[in-house]
Amino acid sequence: MISTKRTVFKLLTFISIWTFAITTTYAQFGTNYGSQSGKYKVDYSTPVEYTIAGIDVVGADFNDKNALINIAGFKVGEKIKIPGDAISKAVKKLWRLGIVGDVQINVTEIQGNDVYLQIALKERPKLSKFYFEGVKKGQAKTLTDKVQLVRGRIVTESMIRNTQNVIKAHYAEKGFKNTEVKIVREKDPVLANSVILRIDVNKNSKVKIDDLKLTGVEELTQKKVKRKLKKTKEKRFGRIFTPSKFIAEEYENDKKSLIEYYNEEGYRDAEIVRDSVYDVSKKLVNVELDLYEGKRYYYRSINWTGNYKYTDEQLARVLGISPGDVYNTTELNKRLSFNPSGADISALYMDDGYLFFNVTPVEVLVTGDSVDIEMRVFEGEQAYISKIIVNGNTKTSDHVVYREIRTLPGQKFSRADLIRTQRELSTLGYFDPETIDIQPKPNMSNGTVDIQYGLTEKANDQIELSGGWGGFYGFVGTVGLVFNNFSLRNVGDFSKWRPLPAGDGQRLQLRVQASGIQYQTYSVSFTEPWLGGRKPNSLTVSYNYSNQNSYSGNTKIGSLGINAATVALGRRLKWPDDWFTMSNSLSFMVYDLNNWFATGFGDYNNGKSYNFTFNTTISRNSIDQPTYPRRGSQISLSISLTPPYSLFQDKDFSSTEITDEERYKWVEYNKWMFDNAWYQAIIGDLVLATRAHMGFLNAYNQDKGLGPFERFIMGGDGLTQQFALLGTETIGLRGYQNNSIVPYETNGLGGVVYNKYVMELRYPVSLNPSATIYVLGFMEGGNNWASFDEFNPFDLYKSAGFGARIFMPAFGMLGIDWAYGFDAPPGQRDISGSQFHFTIGQQLR
């Protein structure tokens, strides 16, 4: 409903527009059957047939005259009746071109049965350029994209009106309800028959809601009802996150949401009987809503018909609605069709092949405040999958896609398998997860279904480039390449190098990092996710070489070199469920210390240490997609074990005669790591992400101890500082400087047990696969201890802040955070305070 004042205004506007349209049409489509001097008169009651002896066109200075004559449909020598339909049709044809503003067809001469015609027209100008007045440069660019004016197009009244409407609608969405747009045509001094459009925009002030008045609200509270009008809020001091600006489209959506809310509360008869929006001033409006709530209804009985596969009791148990519950059609439909938080009736049938199943709830009786529902079930036959069709994988090989698909020809149709396949295709990282299109194409005549998967490839290879000049140390930089969809079998076919062969789902990673002569690291790794091609058993091989040098002036005085190689095998598990995977790896690392004096090493400066490690990791990953997960969880338990060399050696490691070179020749420890992440969409794309992490490092022989290797260092963005000890486990903690959370008594050596908790609220700015952007607010806390005896999971260094993440396929995840650390790091008196953190190519753990 609208106010009486607005109704009268709209009615007068409607009459004026139609009066203008009728007058304009009559003028523009009119014809003149006499000469300009009025010599040739036409008898309208008696049409006469003439032969066209000649045709002339006047007013066409910029268009081909012969083309205009052909469009009009005239030809010299043809017969024509005057007056007749041919004349009026010609006018309409010329008018429809859109290039003329006025058309007349005149009879200039009659000689016997011959007639000479004149097409008189007025050409419309073309658009040469346009510009905006009254708006800033950035807004002008936005408006240019919105109005989509094309230079060279004919300027028509329709173009002018459409441009005005688009601009007004754009600002109305932002709360500028009274935006004024005036378009002035200026003659182009350079181009003939062309005009320049000057678009004057006056946004005026934002229009806010001064008063929101609700009448008829009796069963529910005013506060509850107003809360459901999410975008329609009255002006109030301190209102920040839900501004009170009036936006007509949001207002209409809020009215629908309000009635839906009443229906969900059992008020099935609720309606808005009247609403009014009227101006209080140029900046304020009042909104009045008059509601009829009706009575609250309850389910009295729910009966099932047409069900043979499952009993009434089985269906009622899945439905989860009992007589006496509040009548809620929204919840009822959710439990019948798709229930994100539990089972539903459709899933019960469709997961067992009943693709043609449907159920229709019908109100068979409404009496008093009670409703009787009859569930009319059509089960149909079980459908079997006939064909699988995959489209859109222009880069990725078919076999890479098909091996992730769980809907196989010959199997019974299953909705659960469709949902799981969508998730598997999303987590590959090769396709845009927002546009994966799955279309079952059922054939009821033979009980089969074809399933078509529509995919959109996205770039997912990554490059890391950074560089600079470090004075004495020379070039400082990093070059990293990650090919996430590599194809080893096509390496020999140079026609498929773009820039390297791709499409088989393998991963190749190359990285070189250097800080002149002081620090270099080189690494390469390769992963085949389906070793042998039949089962999802992964193979990963990697090699890394790092070298750090220390200098005194220009003289090299020490070095630390590390060689590391790893081979890992992974496989998917079917128990406890098929979300689980297990990975086992063997790695061998050699530390070569040559006069190396560094914090944490103590007196161990020379010698070689060997680290031979077996690692097993059990993990479960059910997130819906990797870039911006909305639901699901990730959990992993990792155990790293070295052989307990000291238990088999006949040496007294408590003796002071044992040198550090001998003590740490064979590195030994057992290391336990636990990580958990959980994602849940709250409202729309607003996601709550919570994480918990814990690590524990233990020695087999307390006399020998752990040594300087594999300890935990916490703080900052989680990136190891350039000259920090390689081989340590670095854990980020925003709000604190890098590597600052280290047990004070270890003198920088690092802790042996840590834990950390994180809670984030995330909201996407853009889900475009070329640049996924989201903002976040977070709270987190963590700590790092020198021994398990000191471990206290609630003694945390706490922080909070906000940040943003940008995922670009070419560079991976880029992040910036501002955080405030509330506590003083170990060994410091002052709290950490404000900190900025930058991350590249990783998520903070």
Question: Which of 292-328 are b and which e, b meaning 16 or more Cβ less than 10 Å from the residue's Cβ?
Answer: ebeebbbbbebebeebeebeeeebbebbebeeeeebb
- Full-prediction pTM beyond 0.75? no
Angle between the 157-172 and 137-147 helix axes, to the nearest 10 degrees?
Answer: 130
For residue 786, count other CB atoms closer than 10 A to its CB.
19
DSSP secondary-structure letter at 338? -
| Structure tokens belonging to residue 632 | 């699901």
Using alpha carbons, list the distances in angstroms from residue 527 to 369, 392, 534, 627, 727.
Answer: 64, 25, 16, 20, 22
> Tokens 């945390």, residue?
796
Cβ atoms 361, 345 nearer than 8 A:
no
CA distance 496 to 713: 44
CA distance 330 to 310: 24
Using alpha carbons, list the distances in angstroms from residue 104 to 101, 208, 399, 557, 590.
Answer: 11, 51, 68, 98, 95
What would the DSSP string read from start to end of 617-648? EEEEE--S-SSS--EEEEEEEEEEE---GGGG
For residue 627, count other CB atoms closer than 10 A to its CB.
21
- CATH fold of the domain at 384-454: Ubiquitin-like (UB roll) (3.10.20)
- Give me the percent of the chain exceeding a pLDDT of 90: 52
Helix (H) or strand (E) holding 160: helix 157-172
**What is the structure's pLDDT at 378?**
95
Cβ atoms 672, 695 nearer than 8 A:
yes
How are strands ordered across the β-sheet holding 271-279? 208-215, 284-292, 271-279
Q: Choose among 421, 445, 422: nearest CA to 433.
A: 422
**Contacts of 825-830 spanning 24+ positions with Cβ under 8 A:** 825/715, 825/736, 825/737, 825/740, 825/741, 825/797, 826/740, 826/741, 826/742, 826/743, 826/744, 827/744, 828/740
Cβ atoms 785, 753 nearer than 8 A:
yes
Strand partners, 272: 291
Residues of the chain with pLDDT under 70: 1-45, 61-62, 97-101, 238-242, 341, 464-476, 598-602, 718-727, 810-811, 841-845
The set of residues, in sequence order, having a beta carbon less than 8 Å from that of 161 and lying 6+ positions away, is none
Q: Choose among 693, 591, 570, 700: nearest CA to 641.
A: 700
CA distance 719 to 731: 8
Cβ atoms 648, 668 nearer than 8 A:
no
Using alpha carbons, list the distances in angstroms from residue 246 to 6, 168, 228, 281.
Answer: 17, 14, 15, 13
Residue extents of the structural domains in the chain = 48-123, 126-202, 208-292, 298-378, 384-454, 465-572, 596-845
**What is the structure's pLDDT at 238?**
66
| Structure tokens belonging to residue 21 | 């349209």
Strand partners, 615: 585, 640
CA distance 658 to 456: 63
What would the DSSP string read from start to end of 347-369? HHHHTTT-TT-EEEEEEEEEETT
At 693 the three-state DSSP class reads strand
Question: Which of 471-486 are b and which e, b meaning 16 or more Cβ less than 10 Å from the residue's Cβ?
Answer: eeeeebbeebbbbbbb
Cβ atoms 349, 309 nearer than 8 A:
yes
CATH number of 298-378: 3.10.20.310
Rg (CA), the chain: 38
**What is the structure's pLDDT at 11?**
44
Question: Which of 99-135 are b and which e, b meaning 16 or more Cβ less than 10 Å from the residue's Cβ?
Answer: bbbebbbbbbebeeeebbbbbbbebbbbbbebebeeb
How are strands ordered across the β-sheet holding 448-454? 384-391, 448-454, 437-443
- CATH fold of the domain at 126-202: Ubiquitin-like (UB roll) (3.10.20)
Residue type, 559: S
At 678 the three-state DSSP class reads strand
Which tens digits make up the pLDDT trace of 645-701?
988 888 888 887 888 888 889 999 999 999 999 999 998 899 999 999 999 999 999
| Residue count (the chain) | 845
> Tokens 């009821």, residue?
444
**What is the structure's pLDDT at 42?**
58
Half-sphere exposure of 268 (CA within 13 A, CB side): 15
At 26 the three-state DSSP class reads helix
**What is the structure's pLDDT at 79?**
83
Using alpha carbons, list the distances in angstroms from residue 779 to 627, 691, 714, 754, 757.
Answer: 21, 11, 16, 17, 8
The set of residues, in sequence order, having a beta carbon less than 8 Å from that of 512 and lying 6+ positions away, is 478, 479, 480, 520, 521, 522
What would the DSSP string read from start to end of 44-111? TTS-EEEEEEEEEEES-SSS-HHHHHHHHT--TT-EEEESSHHHHHHHHHHHHTSSEEEEEEEEEEEE
- CATH fold of the domain at 208-292: Ubiquitin-like (UB roll) (3.10.20)
Which CATH architecture does the domain made up of 48-123 adopt? Roll (3.10)
At 424 the three-state DSSP class reads helix
Strand partners, 607: 593
Q: Choose among 266, 268, 260, 380: nearest CA to 321.
A: 266
The set of residues, in sequence order, having a beta carbon less than 8 Å from that of 311 and lying 6+ positions away, is none
Question: Which of 631-648 are b and which e, b meaning 16 or more Cβ less than 10 Å from the residue's Cβ?
Answer: ebbbbbebebbbebbbee
CA distance 209 to 248: 11
Cβ atoms 179, 203 nearer than 8 A:
yes
Half-sphere exposure of 589 (CA within 13 A, CB side): 21
Indicate if 596-845 has the same CATH topology as 208-292: no
| Structure tokens belonging to residue 564 | 């590391």
Which tens digits make up the pLDDT trace of 6-54?
444 444 444 444 443 333 333 333 344 333 334 455 555 678 888 887 8
**Contacts of 238-245 spanning 24+ positions with Cβ under 8 A:** 243/175, 243/208, 244/208, 244/209, 245/174, 245/175, 245/206, 245/207, 245/208, 245/209
**What is the structure's pLDDT at 599?**
58
Q: Does domain 596-845 have CATH number 3.30.1360.180?
A: no
Q: Choose among 306, 383, 318: nearest CA to 346.
A: 318
CA distance 344 to 299: 19
**What is the structure's pLDDT at 366?**
94
